[in-house]
Structure 1
Amino acid sequence: MPLITFVELPIPHVDGLQEGAEATVDLDIPNHDYLKIAFDLLRDPFRRFITVHSPDWIIHDMLNNWTAEIAQELGLPFVVFSVFSAGVLAFIGLGEPEGGPKKHWPNSPQALMSPPPWIQFPSKLALLPHEANSLYQALYLPNESGLSDIQRFGQAIRGCQAIAIRTCPEYERVYLDVLNKHPKPIIPVGLLPPEKREAAVEGEWVEIFRWLDEKAARSVVFVGFGSECKLSRNEIYEIAHGLELSNLNFIWALRKPKWASDDGSDALPPGFESRTTGRGVVNMGWAPQMEILAHHAIGGSLFHSGWGSLIETVQYGNALVVLPFINDQGFNARLAVEKGLAIEVERDEDGAFHRDAIARALKRAMVEEEGEHLRCRSREMMAIFSDQQLHHRYLSGFVDFLKTFKTK
């Protein structure tokens, strides 16, 4: 009998929502609001399901404000689970303030460009101007669904029995201390790192790994920006030119952009692949990321600093070069820099970045003495991030909380 049973609640049709879109990865950022509208229409189907099955607990994420309302209506205990780091939650103040709506909300994007007053220790947690403008609009202003995301967060948290966070004190102790001033129990459930595995590579990756085998230890940069970041032609071209200027070996897992031709021939600058033959590989299909990161030739990673990707990457003790784009990535990047794990690519005030900045950051991480300090610090953190027993203990503590609370 499976430990987990998945139940499908089909996404309703909403005008403006792309056919077949069921997650943010399917959409450009301006269209995310339509997904929230469709998601809100699942309230009644979810309520009917919960009424029939009457679970011991409901665990939901921070955008599910109506899940909390249903749990309270039915007298069921519920926990808010955050896929964001403790640092992010500490910065935004855990949603709607206790003193009433909007009492302590920032009144402009500029307020997000420095740590809030309740973080009373030196901290790099702050947003760059372009990030602050984007996050202020996304988080604090009402969207097409009729609510702002910060209102959703506040409603999701109100009435919950605890807030569970994907983190651990060994990495974010000072930010957990800030959160522990909240009246709700704060429970770190561990970093939940994926287990390292030995998997056979197939297809074209067999040849790519032979190429990797021939490279010196820690001489190759792994480049990947995931599926949520929809990079423009100029952004991809600047990254490519930066890799070329760095003269470093690299593997780039590049999801073919929507603006590219069917064969992907224009997804990279003209002549780029021929000019980097022998020291660079670009693959536009699925990439065995864990196996790549584990290879002895990989010495650094250039990526967006998404929380899940950061957790996965630090397990391998490489130098990190971070180039954040969306959501919480800027916070994660600053925290990684604060911890001595990463170098962040420099940007202009409007958020633009250039090939020279890419090349400069890569050389600092891979060639210069600074990179060895990064790898040394990363190896220290690797012992924490890859400690499955440590994170299982935190997860077991969360389970114990659920059992103990239920028997009260």
Structure 2
Amino acid sequence: MVEIAQEQHIPLVIFSVFSASVYSFFVNQALTRPSPESLMSLPEWFGFSSPLRYPKSLATAMHEGFRGENASGISDADRVHKILQASKAVAFRTCPEYEAEYLNAFEKITGNGSKPVFPIGLLLPEKPQGRQTDEIFRWLDVQKPNSVVFVGFGSECKLRKEQTHKIAYGVELSGLPFLWALRKPHWAFNELDTLPCGFQERTRGRGIVCFGWAPQLEIVGHSSIGGSMFHTGWSSIIETMQFGHSLVVLPFVIDQPLNARLLLDKGLGVEIERSEDGSFSRDDIAKALRLAMVSAEGEKLRIQTREAAQVFGNRDLHDSYFNRFVEYLKENGAAN
């Protein structure tokens, strides 16, 4: 990529689908912090207090994945460093209202202002047009406003059978209405084999399990959805936060643990308690769900997530950041 851009005399701009906080955490990883333990502490280059760090249970896998060679023969750490050195500017799918200090830190780290860093807004997906009429939405239509928990861990999180069953038991134990988007994992013989025996019978009428693909944006935007339990991938955070949901976080891979730490630090989520080895119980799931959705203790959280939706869902705000970036490209493109 770098060589092609240089040969064609095209200015190279990095566009990161990760948040500025995550990219800032790793920006110097190719040169420093050579051990898994180093990911469990605050980067010295931040220069301010931050909650970002990996838990012990996830640090080793993340370190090996980032610094180890992959099929391309070069590590992700080396690739990031090489592209960053050659780039003229960096663009993030974010906004300063959420992580201004990390945008500022990144700009100082990568050139002390000589390499422009642009928040280009959250690039909100278009809201679906028309009205869904299938079974999922007929069921959602008769639920109370903000009462249902959406449960979804996407396709990147390869949950083990034990983890999937604990989540199921925890959802059941919470007593809350739920909609779970669940793909059949590789270890399951069929869809019925994915869930604990009798789970669907015991929760019939209170919840729905949607196997396979689900229209997630339409679901989380429904008025009956009041909370989401998910992995805290950045795109999922953006989709969910624009609707002001109460967030229950259970991160597993890549940027998810750091995203979760920042959400929690800002008072925008409830963390599912885990043991040092990363394991969790059905009781941990149920406790976090009830705290986020119905307990008096979680009222402050629910207020703060609704307030945050005014930023995350502000299309005019995010369009203004995007337009500013477009103007920079016009003025600094290959023809200039």
Verify: 1:215 aligned to 2:143, yes or no.
Answer: yes
> 2: CA distance between counterparts of 1:215 and 1:74?
57
Answer yes or no: is 1:195 the counterpart of 2:122. Answer: no
After superposition, the Cα gap between the structure-2 partners of 1:117 and 1:94, relative to the gap in structure 1 and judged at 3 Å, is closer
Q: How big is the shift at 1:356?
A: 1.1
Q: 183, 186, 210: which one pairs with 1:283? A: 210
* Secondary structure of residue in 1 paired with 2:13: strand
Match of 2:180 among 245, 252, 270: 252
| Number of the residue aligned with 2:6 | 72
Aligned to 1:230: 158
2:16 is the alignment partner of 1:85: no
Alignment coverage as a number of residue pairs: 331
- The answer to whether the 8 A contact 2:27-2:81 is kept is no
Contact residue 241 and residue 312 of structure 2 kept, 8 A: yes
Q: Take 2:67 and 2:94, find their aligned partners in 1: how far apart are those partners? A: 25
What are structure 2's unaligned runs of at least 5 residues?
Answer: none
- Give the TM-score, by structure 1 length: 0.78
Q: Is contact 1:95-1:153 (8 Å) kept?
A: no
Are 2:92 and 1:165 equivalent residues in the alignment? yes
How many Å apart are 1:156 and its aligned residue?
Answer: 1.4
String of CA shifts for 1:137-193, please: whole Å, max 9, x gaps.
111223343221100101111221111111110111011110120212111111111
Q: 1:121 aligns with which of 48, 52, 63?
A: 48
Partner of 1:25: none
Kept in 2, the 8 Å contact 1:94–1:153? The answer is no
Query: 2:261: which partner in 1?
Result: 334
In 2: Cα distance, 1:375 partner to 1:86 partner: 25
Report the Cα distance in structure 1 between the residues aligned to 2:280 and 2:72, rounded to whole angstroms: 33
1:322–1:345: 8 Å Cα contact kept in structure 2? yes
Matched, 1:309 2:239: no
Task: For residues 263-292 of structure 1, give each alpha carbon's deviation from its aligned partner in whole angstroms, at most 9, with x where no partner exists.
Answer: x11010000011111111101032122222
**Matching residue's letter, 2:163:** E
RMSD of aligned residue pairs (Cα, Å): 1.5
Post-superposition offset of 1:372: 2.1
Larger Rg: 1 or 2? 1
One-letter identity of the residue aligned with 1:241:
Y
**Identical amino acids, percent of aligned pairs:** 51
Distance (Å, rounded) in 1 between the aligned partners of 2:127 and 2:262: 24
Which position in structure 2 is the counterpart of 1:108?
Answer: 35
Cα deviations by residue, 1:303-352 (Å, 9 ceiling, x for unpaired) = 11000000000010110001111110111111111111101111121222
* Aligned with 2:116 (options 185, 189, 193): 185
SS in 1 for 2:330: helix
Secondary structure at the aligned position of 2:193 is classed as: coil
Over 6 Å off, 4+ runs: none
Which shifted more, 80-89 or 370-379?
370-379
- How many Å apart are 1:220 and its aligned residue? 0.9
List per-residue Cα deviations over 1:41-85 (Å, max 9, x = no partner). Answer: xxxxxxxxxxxxxxxxxxxxxxxxxx0122112322111111110
* 1:383 paired residue among 301, 310, 315: 310
The answer to whether the 8 Å contact 1:221/1:299 transfers is yes
What does residue 350 of structure 1 align with?
Answer: 277
Tell whether the 8 Å contact from 1:87 to 1:172 is kept in structure 2 after alignment: yes
Quick one: higher RCO (CA 8 Å, sep 6+), 1 or 2? 2
Distance between the aligned counterparts of 1:94 and 1:177, measured in 2?
15
Specify whether residues 240 and 196 from structure 1 end up closer, same or farther in structure 2 by C-alpha distance, changes over 3 A only: same
- Amino acid in structure 2 at the alignment position of 1:83: V
